[in-house]
C-alpha cells in the first residue's frame, strides 16, 4: 500500500493513458454507429452479463461524444488521436518513474492536461445539462486554482477554504440534477442519466488526478513551492503605496460561526437549566446518527440488490439498475464517513475528509427528496419515509461539521503525507 502511494503519480498517468486507449479502440470498433444518423438510443439492447452492461455504458458515452466528431472522417481521426494520446501518457508514466530531469516540463504538461480535461468535461456536460453545466465549470476553475496556489493560503483556515469549494460544487450538483431530471420526459432514460454521471465523474477524477500530479511535480523541482508565511508584512515607504491583496482575510468567518454556536448552545442550556456531560463529545453523536443513516441506506440497497441479481433484464426497465448503482455509491460514502469519524474521535484528524463526505451524503439525499416531492419522476432512491428520515439524520451531521472547531494541524499533515 505504501509503495502504491509513493508511486501514485505513475499509476495515475498509466490509468489515464489506458482509459483513452480503450475509448479510442471502442470508437474504432463502433465507428459505423457514428456515421448512422439513426443512432440515438440503446433502449432495445438486452443485458445478460456484466460485459453487456459495460458495452451499453460505452455506447451511451459514444452517443454523448458523437456530436463532437462531426461527419466522416473526423470520428476515425478522433479515435486515432485518442489512442496516440493514451500511448503518450504511457510514455510519460515511464519518464516519471525513471527520471526526475523533466519534472518541471511534466508539471506544466499535467496542469495543462487537467485544464483541457475540465474544459472537455464542461463541453460534454453542456449537451446533457444545458447552461447549468457552467456552474460546474466555475467549481472546476476555483478548485484548480486553489489546488495550484494553495501554498499562498493560511492552512489555519483550511476549513473555510473547503467550505467555499463545497458550496460551489453543491450548487452545481443541485442545478445539474434538476436539469437532467427535467429532461426525462424529453426522451432521456435512466441508463442515459447513469452513464452520463459515471462518464462525467470519471473525467473529473482524471482531471483532478492530472492536477494532483502536476502540483506534486511542481513542488518537487529545485525551486520548491514556498510554505505559507504567517509573519506580518513589514511597512516601508516603498511598500505603503503598493496595493497588496491578502486572500486570507476572507477566510476568517469560522470564528463568527463559533461565536454563533456558543451563543445558541449556551442559551439553550441556560433555558433548560442543564449541562453537557464532560464525557460526551460531538463525535459520539456523529457516530450514532451516522450509524442509523448507514443502516437505512443498507436496507434500501438490499432491496434493490435482490432485483439486480435475478439475472436477465432489458434496458427499457433500468430504474432498478440506476437505483442500485447510486445506492451502492451512497452506501460506500456513509461507510467511509463512519470510518473517518471513528478515526477523528481517536486520532483527532481527518476533519476536512469528514466534512467532504457528509456534504456529499447530505446533498444526495436532499436533492433526491426535492426531486421526489417536486418532480414527477420514478427514479427515487428511497421510499419517502426513509428519505425524510435520512435528511433529518444527515442535516445535524452537516451542521456539526460546519460549526465544530477543526484541528487544522492534523489535516495539514495528512495532506503532506
Closest CA to 135 of 166, 194, 175: 175
Q: Considering only 5-9, 205-209, 229-233, which range has the smallest mean pLDDT?
A: 229-233
More confident site: 408 or 290: 290
The answer as to whether 220 is a domain residue is no
Instruction: Tell me which of 64 and 311 has the higher pLDDT.
Output: 64
Angstrom distance (rounded) from CA 341 to CA 319: 33
Work out the pLDDT band at 392, boundaries 50, 70, 90. Answer: very high
d(C-alpha 402, C-alpha 412), whole Å: 18
Residue owning grid cell 476515425: 76
Tell me how far apart the alpha carbons of residues 381 and 368 are, in angstroms, rounded to a whole number.
Answer: 7
Whether 270 shows a pLDDT value over 80: the answer reads no
The C-alpha R_g of the chain, in whole angstroms, comes to 24
**pLDDT recorded at residue 314:** 53
Q: How confident is the model at residue 231 (pLDDT cuts 50, 70, 90)?
A: very low
Residue 212 lies in a domain: no
3 state SS of 121: helix
Q: DSSP E strands: which ranges in 332-390?
A: none
Q: Which residues constitute the domain of residue 281?
A: 266-416
Confidence of residue 3 (pLDDT cuts 50, 70, 90): low
Backbone torsion region of residue 354, taken as left when φ is above 0, otherwise alpha when ψ lies between -120 and 50, otherwise beta? alpha
Domain final residue, candidates 77, 98, 119? 98
Domain boundary residue, one of 48, 72, 98: 98
pLDDT confidence bin for 317, thresholds 50/70/90: low
**b/e code 189-207 from CB counts within 10 Å (16+ = b):** bbbbbbbbbebbeebbebb
Residue 73 three-state SS: coil
Whole-angstrom distance, CA of residue 51 vs CA of residue 68: 26
At 306, list the grid cell.
Answer: 435482490
In a domain, 207, yes or no: no
| In-domain check, residue 69 | yes
How does residue 395 score in pLDDT terms, banded at 50, 70 and 90? very high
Here the cell at position 350 is 481527518
pTM of the model: 0.79
The answer to whether position 242 is within a domain reads no
* Angstrom distance (rounded) from CA 10 to CA 343: 29
- The lowest-confidence range among 150-164, 224-238, 330-344, 358-372 is 224-238
Closest alpha carbon to 330 in 176, 197, 142:
197
Identify which has the larger pLDDT, 80 or 218. Answer: 80
- The top-scoring range by mean pLDDT among 70-84, 127-141, 153-167, 358-372 is 358-372
What pLDDT, on a 0 to 100 scale, did the predictor assign at position 1?
46
Is residue 361 one of the residues assigned to a domain? yes
Cis peptide before 73 (omega within 30 of 0): yes
Considering its fold, how many domains does the chain have in total?
2
> What's the whole-number average pLDDT of the chain?
77
pLDDT at 296 over 90: yes
* Nearest-angstrom CA–CA distance, 344 and 133: 35
Q: Give the residue-averaged pLDDT of 14-21.
A: 90
- What is the arithmetic mean of pLDDT over 256-261? 64
Q: DSSP 3-state assignment of 381?
A: coil
Three cell numbers written together for 126: 453542456
Q: Is residue 246 assigned to a domain?
A: no
Whole-angstrom CA distances from 184 to 68, 162, 189, 278, 378 are 23, 33, 6, 52, 10
Residue whose C-alpha is closest to residue 322's, from 258, 379, 401: 379
229 falls within a domain: no
Residue where a domain terminates, one of 81, 98, 115: 98
Q: In this predicted structure, what is the pLDDT of residue 336?
A: 95
Amino acid at each position: 500500500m505504501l509503495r502504491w502511494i509513493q508511486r501514485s503519480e505513475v499509476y495515475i498517468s498509466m490509468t489515464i493513458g489506458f482509459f483513452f486507449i480503450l475509448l479510442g479502440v471502442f470508437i474504432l470498433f463502433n465507428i459505423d454507429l457514428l456515421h448512422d444518423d439513426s443512432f440515438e438510443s440503446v433502449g432495445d439492447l438486452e443485458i445478460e452479463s456484466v460485459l453487456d452492461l459495460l458495452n451499453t455504458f460505452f455506447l451511451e458515452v459514444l452517443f454523448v461524444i458523437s456530436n463532437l466528431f462531426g461527419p466522416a472522417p473526423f470520428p476515425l481521426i478522433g479515435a486515432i488521436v485518442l489512442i496516440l494520446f493514451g500511448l503518450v501518457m504511457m510514455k510519460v508514466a515511464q519518464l516519471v518513474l525513471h527520471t526526475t530531469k523533466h519534472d518541471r516540463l511534466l508539471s506544466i504538461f499535467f496542469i495543462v492536461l487537467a485544464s483541457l480535461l475540465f474544459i472537455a468535461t464542461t463541453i460534454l456536460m453542456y449537451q446533457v445539462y444545458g447552461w447549468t453545466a457552467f456552474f460546474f465549470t466555475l467549481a472546476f476553475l476555483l478548485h484548480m486554482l486553489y489546488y495550484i496556489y494553495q501554498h499562498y493560503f493560511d492552512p489555519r483556515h483550511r476549513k473555510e477554504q473547503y467550505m467555499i469549494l463545497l458550496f460551489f460544487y453543491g450548487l452545481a450538483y443541485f442545478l445539474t440534477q434538476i436539469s437532467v431530471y427535467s429532461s426525462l420526459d424529453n426522451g432521456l432514460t435512466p441508463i442515459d442519466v447513469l452513464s452520463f454521471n459515471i462518464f462525467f465523474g470519471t473525467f473529473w477524477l482524471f482531471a483532478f488526478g492530472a492536477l494532483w500530479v502536476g502540483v506534486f511535480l511542481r513542488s518537487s523541482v529545485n525551486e520548491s513551492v514556498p510554505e505559507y508565511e504567517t509573519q506580518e508584512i513589514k511597512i516601508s515607504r516603498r511598500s505603503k503605496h503598493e496595493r497588496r491583496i491578502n486572500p486570507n482575510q476572507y477566510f476568517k468567518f469560522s470564528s463568527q460561526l463559533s461565536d454563533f454556536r456558543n451563543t445558541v448552545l449556551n442559551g439553550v442550556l441556560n433555558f433548560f437549566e442543564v449541562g453537557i456531560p464532560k464525557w460526551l463529545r460531538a463525535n459520539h453523536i456523529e457516530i450514532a446518527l451516522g450509524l442509523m443513516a448507514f443502516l437505512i441506506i443498507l436496507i434500501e440497497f438490499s432491496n434493490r440488490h435482490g432485483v439486480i441479481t435475478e439475472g436477465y433484464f432489458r434496458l427499457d426497465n433500468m430504474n432498478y439498475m440506476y437505483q442500485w448503482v447510486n445506492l451502492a455509491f451512497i452506501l460506500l460514502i456513509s461507510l467511509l464517513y463512519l470510518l473517518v469519524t471513528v478515526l477523528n474521535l481517536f486520532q483527532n484528524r481527518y476533519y476536512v475528509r469528514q466534512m467532504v463526505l457528509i456534504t456529499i451524503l447530505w446533498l444526495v439525499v436532499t436533492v433526491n427528496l426535492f426531486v421526489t416531492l417536486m418532480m414527477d419522476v420514478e427514479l427515487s432512491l428511497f421510499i419517502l419515509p426513509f428519505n425524510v428520515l435520512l435528511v433529518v439524520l444527515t442535516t445535524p451531521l452537516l451542521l456539526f461539521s460546519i460549526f465544530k472547531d477543526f484541528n487544522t494541524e492534523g489535516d495539514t499533515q495528512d495532506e503532506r503525507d
